[in-house]
Amino acid sequence: MAETTLQRKPALLGKTKEELTNIALELGLPKFTGNQLAQWLYVHRAETFDRMTNLSKKARSLLAEYYTVGREKPVTIQTSADGTRKYLFPAIDVRGEQGWVEAVMIPEGDRATLCISSQIGCKMNCLFCMTGKQGWRGNLTAGEIINQVLSVEEADKLTNIVFMGMGEPLDNVEQVLRSIEILTSEWGLAWSPKRITLSTIGVRAGLIRFLNETRCHLAVSLHNPFAQERAQIMPVENSMPLKETLSLIRSADFSSQRRVSFEYIVFEGINDSLRHAEELTRLLRDIPCRINLIRFHKIPDVELKPVNDSKMEAFRAHLEKSGFTATIRASRGEDISAACGMLSTREKLKQQQ
């Protein structure tokens, strides 16, 4: 088995080529070793130092003395009848205790999309989110984020990545931006930014940096167009009002090369009325965007309910009549509880028994 996150040596996975070069020089190794390490970590995807065969045995021994590679295999894999797969990865939290994060692979035609996590738990406490019930237990490192991409069984077949797993990505902006750099750099995984989307509920400082420093797509979790009602299900509305998030988006450069979309989970009797649809179209009328309507996956101890298909269709029809591109996202992986946080919560409870 590859080195585990339980080991205290720092990991090389998640380091930039410049950082890898500095590490090599500090260990007395040739400068070009940094480029070799980047190749082994991100191109050849080596899980152990022994696989890095163009490094001398002395170099590999020296690296192993002070560092780990940083690769970690999933401890649980669940496969849905529809092909969706949920992976559970171990991660150590801020208290030094065992935590868990999830990644979900969603196949659709010739696409294979991986939803990845950025935090252990989440501090945003959205009413409808199981991850928020865990509370915040720590930020993932760039290496732990990249490990999810490299360690799923479909790693070589992935076409898209979405930062839409556990946690609020922009609450861990430094490590998320570092992971995006590794994903998109020529010395890294060399992905096009157009294949990466980041989903956020709105974190001011992080959103500004994301908009300025990347060309990746943006998805905003909106869920209610009325500020007071949104605050009841999304406490972030009190510290970062939706109107401020929309103002930042209006000032950003979005084009055919970079898209913005809005996620809208539809709850029965909460945000599913004509009044909500009309306010949603008013708020977004000057922003070229797509609106994704999402069916709610019920979670324990939360009274929110999903709406029926006819109401979802009616809501979409109103948006389309108003000139928006609107989709109803198909429910995936319900038989394996694919909603974020379900599997990790069960694992956490199991460990406590």
Task: Answer whether CATH 3.40.309.10 is correct for domain 76-351.
Answer: no
Is position 340 annotated as part of the catalytic site? yes
Given the residues 102, 237, 263, 347, select the one marked as catalytic.
102
273 is in an annotated binding site: no
Mean pLDDT, the chain, rounded, equals 93
| 218 is annotated as contributing to ligand binding | no
Chain centre distance of CA 346:
20
Stretch 232-240: mean pLDDT, rounded? 97
**Distance, CA of 95 to CA of 130 (rounded, Å):** 21
- Percentage, residues of the chain above pLDDT 70: 92
Question: Higher model confidence: residue 222 or residue 3?
Answer: 222
Give span(s): CATH 3.20.20.70, the chain.
76-351
Write the CB contacts of 48 (distance below 8 Å, at least 6 apart in sequence): 2, 3, 69, 71
Look at residues 258, 276, 172 and name the one whose alpha carbon lies nearest to residue 222.
276
Q: Is residue 350 scored above 80 in pLDDT?
A: no
274 is in an annotated binding site: no
pLDDT given at position 353: 52
Question: What integer pLDDT is reported at residue 313 of this predicted model?
Answer: 97
pLDDT, tens digit, for every residue of 20-75? 999 999 999 999 999 999 999 999 999 999 999 999 999 999 999 999 999 999 99
Q: In the structure, how many helices (H) and strands (E) does the chain have?
A: 13, 12
pLDDT at 51 (0 to 100): 97
Residue 6 has a pLDDT of: 45
| 122 carries a ligand binding annotation | yes
- Known binding residue 199? Answer is yes
The DSSP symbol for 11 reads B
- Ligand-binding annotation for 129, yes or no, is yes
pLDDT over 80 at 334, yes or no: no
DSSP string of 48-65?
Answer: SGGG-TTS-HHHHHHHHH
Residue ranges matching CATH 1.10.150.530 in the chain: 17-66
pLDDT tens column, 259-283: 999 999 999 999 999 999 999 999 9
Is 216 annotated to bind a ligand? Reply is no
pLDDT of residue 1: 39
Q: Which of 115, 216, 289, 340 is catalytic?
A: 340
pLDDT at res. 24: 98
Q: Indicate if 102 belongs to the active site.
A: yes
220 pLDDT more than 80: yes
Give the tens place of pLDDT for each residue, 120-142.
999 999 999 999 999 999 999 99
CATH C-level class of 17-66: mainly alpha
Q: Is 251 among the annotated ligand-binding positions?
A: no
> What pLDDT sits at residue 287?
96
Higher-pLDDT residue of 325 and 345 is: 325
Give the integer Cα–Cα distance in Å for 37 and 27.
Answer: 13
User: Taking CA 266 as the corner, what is the angle to CA 265 and CA 271, rounded to the nearest 5 degrees?
Assistant: 115
C-alpha to C-alpha distances, 309 to 77, 296, 312, 336, nearest whole angstrom: 30, 12, 5, 22
